[in-house]
Amino acid sequence: MELRAVLTTCPYCGVGCNFIFEVLDGKIINTMAAKTGPSNAGSLCIKGWSVHEFIQHKDRLTKPLIRRDGVFKEATWDEAYDYAASELLRLKDTYGPESVAFVGSARCPNEETYIFQKFARAAFGHNHVDHCARLCHAPTVAGLAVSFGSGAMTNSFAELEHANCILVIGSNTTVSHPIAAKRLMKAQANGAKLMVADPRKTQIAQLADLHVQQNLGTDVALINGLMHVIYKNGWHNRAFIEERTENFPALAEMIEQFPPERVSQITGVSVPDIEKMAAWYAKSQDSAIVYVLGITQHTTGVDNVKSLANLAMLCGHIGRPSTGVNPIRGQNNVQGACDMGCLPNAFPGYQYVNVPENVAKFEKAWNAKLSGTPGLTMVEQVEAVHEGKVKGLVVFGANPVVSYPNANRVQKGLEALEFLLVLDIFPTPTTALAHVVLPGASFAETCGTFASSERRVQLVREAIPPIPGKYNWEIIPELSTRVGYPMKYASAAEIFDEMASLTPAYGGMSFPRLEAEGLCWPCPTPNHPGTKYLHKDKFTRGLGLFQAIDFRPPAEAPDDDYPFWLTTGQIFSHYLTGTMTRRCPTLHHENPEVFVEINPQDAARLEIEAGEKIRASSRRGTIEVKARITETVKPGVVFIPMHFLENAANRLTNAALDPITKTPEYKVCAINLAKAA
């Protein structure tokens, strides 16, 4: 009998908790919270505690599969590589390199993501490579980069405990980032005022000192209203505005047009509540903003983010401990996948592709001809398939058929591809459409790094050997080599070192330095201690940039045919497309099937009973859901979680995109509800 303990990092959310696997005779039998974890200090949420339940699950993909004449057959690795490479080369030769697009992963370690985008760029000479940050926090990356010069969480989790006031806006924190929510509870216990702005009465909203329930998609108006009140009352920070920012007059002119009475009409929030929020935020010593998808998943996602940056700068609540604008990133390694340049507009380290010196730098390092033209984003890639421009897609650790908006159209697009290659750890509705499926190694079967939401780069350690027999960092280079761009690495550490030599913020990091508790970037030199909070004394871009942002309503609003506002999102026991959590018995029992939250008044009007089967339809599709009658939502608004592939919320959602980042408006569309029978 051999019992081992392996310290590693959680593969679910961006909090980045550390835990210890107990491995008995090659089987992972238990997960224990690590007291040494810098962001969890001995706590885990239910998903962390039960993470070992999916790793050695019987459904894991173990052999490569090739689909011919509609039937999947097991293949050897050699056969699968050869067939995939010949198809990719056929498309490249027949239609040109731009006919093949790439979707990377925020689930996999930095090293794998780095070589994935390198493969796409170097072997195909274009930048059509993206990942799920597009569906999620792309507006954060773009918005904060314009306002501050750097698109990441400004402060660290531990600092939140010492804030005097926290504005949580569009974050279901206890559900989505439970171990970060603990910090908010601690801050409140220390005397901080906790304010929540959310259209739903979430658990954190119920615990807050003030909850305002704004109408969906009205955040720009709400934030402009707060700034109007702050400026009118002279609660703004004149010294900060003068010394550290520019373009304030434009903002002042815009917020003049948002008196609380008008804002109240747009948002549904009362004038006294707007005034109270403004006073609490502006007059507290250290105020922090925490936000997630309620802010970003809108056609106004970038505007919403810039508005929060405006608010923080107006009061000088940034560049100090326990303040800042804090987007909690979603996936375990979505910060890292952005850092690694799995983005159509940037090489690793946000070195933008449209800057010729950057192209030259990476051409030299990678010995390849690269493109300086930004590539297609994820949803645009699907449209390009419909237009016949993209014929092949390589998907590495993503599940577009369930996760993209307007899933029926996505499915049709993927069905129309001449060649689809998917690398995943489980069969999914996306692997079902593939021509070649490659079985991946999960985080428990590899070494590497994840970057958490607080920019902390932490080690992932191998607990058991790869179940399919190969590391992902062996698969991608082999494929690349057979497509004509040779790559070979001896270890994940070797990949990390190459990446760090090209990515200034990671320049001082190495696997040995990350052993203890990881490092927060920027960490440019081998002796640099890492960076807890950003923008001290000076913004990354120099002066902070105020931007005048006007209110725009969502792309789709209810009408007679589709009279309900639908908003979609996450629940505590399942994770995104559910491939992992729905295979964990502990989590499955919590929520075995999809539901719709509906207000008691609406339920009474439609004579809907609790537990009844309901047909939910939009202009784009129909699903069946169980009614959950609850005051969590206001009358006229309903909520459906996204995790259930058999009745995927995305059959209903609208693929209207933010004009700058092309992020879909998952948080607002119009639907109809009817009894199923």
Interacting residue ranges for Mo ion, rule: CB under 5 A:
136, 330
**Shortest spacing between CB 141 and Mo ion, in angstroms:** 12
How many whole angstroms separate alpha carbon 406 and alpha carbon 156?
A: 35
Taking alpha carbons only, the member of 50, 32, 118, 111 closest to residue 451 is: 111
Of 159, 161, 219, 478, the residue at the interface with ligand MGD (CB under 6 A) is 219
Judged by CB under 6 A, the chain residues 632 through 671 that form the site for ligand MGD are 642, 649-650, 653, 666-667
In angstroms, what CA-CA distances link 404 with 46, 117, 140, 553?
26, 20, 19, 22
DSSP string, 174-227: HHHSHHHHHHHHHHHHTT-EEEEE-SS--HHHHHSSEEE-PPTT-HHHHHHHHH
What's the closest the beta carbon of residue 364 comes to ligand SF4, in angstroms?
A: 38
Of 7, 8, 17, 417, the one binding ligand SF4 (CB under 6 A) is 17
Query: For 329-464, where are the E strands, in sequence order?
Result: 346-347, 351-352, 392-396, 419-424, 436-439, 448-451, 456-460
Residue 570 touches which member of ligand SF4, ligand MGD, Mo ion, none, C-beta under 5-8 Å by kind: ligand MGD
Does 217 bind ligand SF4 (CB under 6 A)? Our answer is no
426 interacts with ligand MGD by CB under 6 A: yes
Are 180 and 173 in contact by the 8 Å Cβ rule? The answer is yes
Residue choice 398, 437, 457, 460 for contact with ligand MGD (CB under 6 A):
398
**Are the beta carbons of 456 and 16 closer than 8 angstroms?**
yes
Q: Is residue 670 classed exposed, middle or buried when 0-12, 13-18 and 19+ CB atoms within 10 A define those classes?
A: buried
120: left (phi over 0), alpha (psi -120 to 50) or beta: alpha
Is the Cβ of residue 245 or residue 568 nearer to ligand MGD in the bound state? 568
**Residues 174-203, interacting with ligand MGD (CB under 6 A):** 175-177, 197-200, 202
Contact 455, 335 (CB under 8 A): yes
Q: Which is nearer to ligand MGD, 154 or 176 (CB)?
A: 176
Range list of β-strands (E), 220-274: 245-246
Minimum CB distance to ligand MGD, residue 637 (Å) = 9
Of 28-36, 338-346, 393-401, 516-524, which segment contacts ligand MGD by CB under 6 A? 393-401
Rule CB under 6 A: is residue 424 a binding residue for ligand MGD? yes
Query: CB 473 → ligand SF4: shortest distance, Å?
Result: 23
Question: Which residue from 540, 351, 332 is spatially nearest to 456, judged by alpha carbons?
Answer: 332
User: For 483, what's the count of Cα atoms within 13 Å in the CB-facing half-sphere?
Assistant: 29
- The contact pattern for ligand MGD, residues 487-526, with x = CB under 6 A and - = no contact, is ----------------------------------------
Q: Residues touching ligand SF4: how many (CB under 6 A)?
A: 14
Segment near ligand MGD (CB under 6 A); pick from 290-298, 449-457, 487-495, 598-606: 290-298
What gap in Å lies between CA 557 and CA 214, rounded to an integer?
15
Give residues in contact with ligand MGD (CB under 6 A). 13, 105, 107-108, 132, 135-136, 169-172, 175-177, 197-200, 202, 216-217, 219, 292-295, 297, 330-331, 396-400, 403, 423-426, 428, 440, 442-443, 472, 567-570, 572, 574-577, 579-580, 642, 649-650, 653, 666-667
